[in-house]
Amino acid sequence: MTHTKQKLVQVDLQDIPQGRMKKHSEVKLAIDVILINKIPFIMTTSRNIHFGTADLVKDMKNNRLKTSIDQLIHACQTRGCKIKEILADRQFRHIQQRIEQKGTVLNICAAIEHVPEIKRYIRAVKERFRSITTTLPFEQYLPQLIIKMVYNCIFRLNSFPHKDGVHLTISPRAIMTGQKITYNKHCKVEFGTYVQTYKKHNNSMEPKTSGAIALRPSGNKQRGHYFLSLLTGKRIL
């Protein structure tokens, strides 16, 4: 096994029309908590832009929920957008005051109502999650594998232009991060593929690679991917 020569990294950010970005600079966000195999996630999607996110929730305490929302607000601000309003159901009512102190309105629907945007987005994620599981040979899934499968679904949904989005050819991910997706860099390995990854080694006769399962692209310019090590059970890049 030998390393291939690395090419110089070309930083090529997606150029978004400024007039279109200004028009959609105020973002409305739909948010909800879902359970996949009893693992909770905070899931969001933005109206018009249709950029989705998923964040693993270890507990439903106030601080954890608020931290996840704060991270999303900060990510939007770095791209010149501002989250004007968050649409949620009653399980977020206990953090309403803390969120509104940041200048963002948290609109809570009635007990028998729900937010249609996020419910439809969750349905799309679950459909893709089930589609991936039908292609895999595993009978049981580690929690780490389930978590990364959800993140992979979000990554793929954000990588393609939405039919009702703000631009016909620019994906939600390119709009919010400025990073483009290319086939040769980000579509080379399918989720669940068995691979051999390099590991730290010396000049001895010990193996220089170890078995791993491909998870998803890291999104960087070097064609990096995340893998699940079969030796440690941890994620590696």
Block means of pLDDT (10 residues each) for the chain, 237 residues, are 55 55 74 89 88 82 73 74 85 83 83 85 94 89 90 91 82 81 80 84 76 83 80 83
pTM of the model: 0.82
Sign of the Cα pseudo-torsion (153, 154, 159, 162, in order): positive
Pick the CATH number of 19-144 from 3.40.630.30, 3.30.420.10, 3.90.1150.10, 3.40.640.10: 3.30.420.10
Q: What percent of the chain has pLDDT over 90?
A: 12
Point out which residues pair with 13 in neighbouring strands.
Answer: 179
In whole angstroms, what is the distance from residue 192 CA to residue 125 CA? 17
Q: What's residue 109's pLDDT?
A: 85
Residues 76/27, Cβ–Cβ less than 8 Å? yes
Percent of the chain as helix, strand, coil, to the nearest 5: 35, 25, 40
In whole angstroms, what is the distance from residue 193 CA to residue 75 CA? 31
